Structure formats: C-alpha cells, structure tokens
Amino acid sequence: MYEAMYRSRRLDDAVLAAYMEGKTPVFHMGKGPLPGEMHQSFGQEPCAAGVCVHLGKEDAVGAGHRPHHVAVARGVDLKKMVAELFGKKTGLSGGRGGHMHLYSAEVNFFSSGIIAEGMGPGAGMALARKMQGKPGIAVAYIGDGAANQGAFHEVLNMVGLWKLPFICVIEDNKYGVSVHKKDSTAIERNSDRASAYGIAGEFVSGNDPDLIFEAAGRAVQRARSGQGGTILELETERLHGHFIGDSGGYRPDAERKAMKDPIPAYRERLLADKVSSAGEMTSLEAKVQGEVDEAMRFGRESEYPDATEALKRLYA
C-alpha cells in the first residue's frame, strides 16, 4: 500500500513540476508540455491504495476527474499513462483522452471528467459480471460533491435492487471545488444514505490507510459473496487546490494549517511497527522514483500523434 501511495505522490510531484513548465510567470492553462486542467491527488492516496490492494484482475475500477492515485493503485501501466498526460501517441489512448479520461482495458480501468459519471458504468460492469456468471466486482470512485448528483441515487437504488457486486467509494475531501460539504450536503455522512438503497454503508475517518484497508476488505467480501453493494465513505484531504492554479483562497487558514499529509505519517508507522526497516523503505522509494522518472522520460520523449489521427477511432 505504501508503495502505491508513494508512487502516486512521486508521479504527482513530477507532473506538477512539468505542468508548470511554460506556465510561469504567466499562468496559461494551454501552455507547456502538460496543458489543460490538471486535478492532482495530493493527500487522497490512501483511498486508492487501501481499496485497490484487495482487487484482482477480474475486478473493474472507475475513477473521476482526479484519477491519478486510483490509476496508479490499480496498476495502470505508468509509462503509457504518463504518455497520455503528455498527449503522445504512445499514451493509453494515443493522446485522445488526456488526464481526466484515462482508459486501460488490460486492468479494467476507466476515468471520466463529469461528476458522478462513473456510477452507472461502474455498476454496469458489476451487472455484466453477474449476468455472465463471471467472478469479479466493480468499484466506482466519486467525491463527496458527487453524492448530490442524480446518478448517485439512481444507480445505488439499482445496486440494492439487483444486489450488484459494487462498491461506491466516496472520497470525502470536504470540498466540491470551492463549496464546503456543509454548504452542499444535507446530512453529515453520505454513507448513511446506504440504508435508503438497501446496501451497506461504512465511514472511515482520519485518512488512515490501515483503517481504509480493513473497511474495504469487508466491502469487497460482501460484494464477492453475493451480499451486494456498499457505500464506502473515506474521509480524506485535498492538500492542494481543485486543480493546479487554484490557490484555494476560499479555505479558512486554520483548516489549511490543520491538514495532515498521510504519506509521511504512514511511513513512520510502518517503521515504528517494524513492518519495514529504514533500509528497505529507502530502497523501495528509490525503485519507485526510478520508475516514475522513467515514465516521465518516456512520456516526454515519445512522439506526438499525427494530427490527422484526430479523425480516427470514432467508430469500432
């Protein structure tokens, strides 16, 4: 789990640096080697690592507009993913998709930039497995803000009705862009909504990878054993802005100061509990950093697609 979190973090660090190339001192979203919006995962890594570690090849995962940590934890090919961020022809979709629209059929992974949009397709992947008598469950990641979309409620009703092997992970970072959850959501816990749809609901506080791991294990067990769906609501932190360039001026200073980075804390715990030695940790980190560097190099150095590729792949 630490490895997945660390890999995501080092990737986001590298992406942040590359994204700002060509964008300082004048910030223009379309400039530099990594143009467009860029929603990063700083602080939310435990939500991906603690859940995806339970999943096998037969399972499916859908992420939202902030997909990097989930894609990494799911094991999406790092080089192809980074090449997609750069819009290169070696990318997952040959440069057609971009950072919010990452698709990797080899690990049953997709992401989408419209809020709550992964709910239906995620549940559909669960339905397909059930109809085909195949093993496997589906997990859809959304944010707390997405729980106010119609798709969330409509899909969860069907998940309950049809007992689909489906987990809705809500990453509760408390903000939908600038709007705090208390100003957008009628109840404190979205996991409480589960009872309305006849599914299980669990809330995990503290952005703690081990607690997330345990709760996710229970949800996965329910899905695999035919007991149906779960809302797994994970308290987390959005350490940076909504996207790069958002300075988060709408957040109170005290709240910003109180934010805790889960990765160093987890590292300390692993060392204190003697799960890992400092030497092992350092060599793991060096290995991961090497992979990220290699992926970034691959993405940067790959060629752009031919412009006329834009007109291809519309139909099967």
Partner 1 sequence: MSVDIVVPQDMWGDSTEGVVVTWIYQNGASVAKGQPVAEVMVEKAQLELVAPASGKLTILAAPETVIGRDQVVGRIETA
Partner 2 sequence: MAQPIPAAAPGSERTLTMARAGREAVFSEMRKNPNMFVIGEDVAKLGGVFGTTVGMAEEFGASRIIDTPISETGFIGIATGAAMAGMRPIVEIAFVDFIGVCFNQIYNFAAKTHYMSGGQFKVPLTFMIGYGGGYNDAAQHSQTLFATLGHVPGIKIVTPADAYDAKGLMASCLQDDNVTVWMVHKRLWGLGWLGFPLPKALATVPEHDYTIPFGQSRIWRDGGDVTIVGLGLTVHNALQAAEQLASEGISAEVLDLRSVVPLDREGIFKSVAKTGRLVVADEDYMSFGVTSEVLAVVAERDPTVLKAPAVRVAYPDVPVPFSRPMEDFCLPNVERIIAAVKSTMKGKK
Nearest Cα residue to 158 out of 218, 108, 198: 198
CA dihedral over 254, 256, 257, 259, signed as positive or negative: positive
Angle at 158 (CA atoms; ends 153, 162), nearest 5 degrees? 155
Asked if residue 35 binds partner 1 (CB under 8 A), the reply is: no
Kindly tell me which residue out of 150, 226, 252, 279 binds partner 2, with binding defined by CB under 8 A. Answer: 150
- Give the interface segment with partner 2, choosing from 128-136, 174-182, 201-209, 253-261 (CB under 8 A): 174-182
Give 7 or 181: the residue with its C-beta nearer to partner 2.
181
The token pair at 229 is 């769906």
In this structure, what token pair is assigned to residue 251? 């957040």
Structure tokens at 143: 């944010």
End-to-end alpha-carbon separation of the chain, Å? 37
Question: Measured between alpha carbons, how far is 256 from 254 in angstroms, rounded to an integer?
Answer: 5
How far is 158 from 121, CA to CA, in rounded Å?
12
**Which of the residues 38 through 77 are near partner 2 (CB under 8 A)?**
none
Contact pick of 245, 259, 261, 284 for partner 1 (by CB under 8 A):
245
Binding at 176: pick from partner 2, partner 1, none (beta carbon under 5-8 Å per type) = partner 2
Kindly report the backbone phi and psi dihedral angles of residue 179, in degrees, each rounded to the nearest multiple of 5, phi listed first: -95, 125
| Sole residue written with tokens 């940067």 | 300
* 146 near partner 2, judged by CB under 8 A: yes
We find the least distance from the C-beta atom of residue 64 to partner 1, in angstroms, to be 21
Site track 84-103 with partner 2 (rule: CB under 8 A), x = hit: x--xxx-x--xxxxxxxx--
What whole-number distance in Å separates Cα of residue 79 and Cα of residue 291? 9
Q: Which of 62, 67, 118, 176 binds partner 2 (CB under 8 A)?
A: 176
133: left (phi over 0), alpha (psi -120 to 50) or beta: left
CB of 246 to partner 1, least distance (A): 6
Q: Of 105, 132, 183, 252, which one interacts with partner 2 (CB under 8 A)? A: 183
Residues forming the site for partner 1 (CB under 8 A) = 24-27, 29, 245-247, 249
Residues forming the site for partner 2 (CB under 8 A) = 26-30, 35-37, 84, 87-89, 91, 94-101, 112-116, 145-146, 148-151, 176-179, 183-185, 245, 250, 304-311, 314
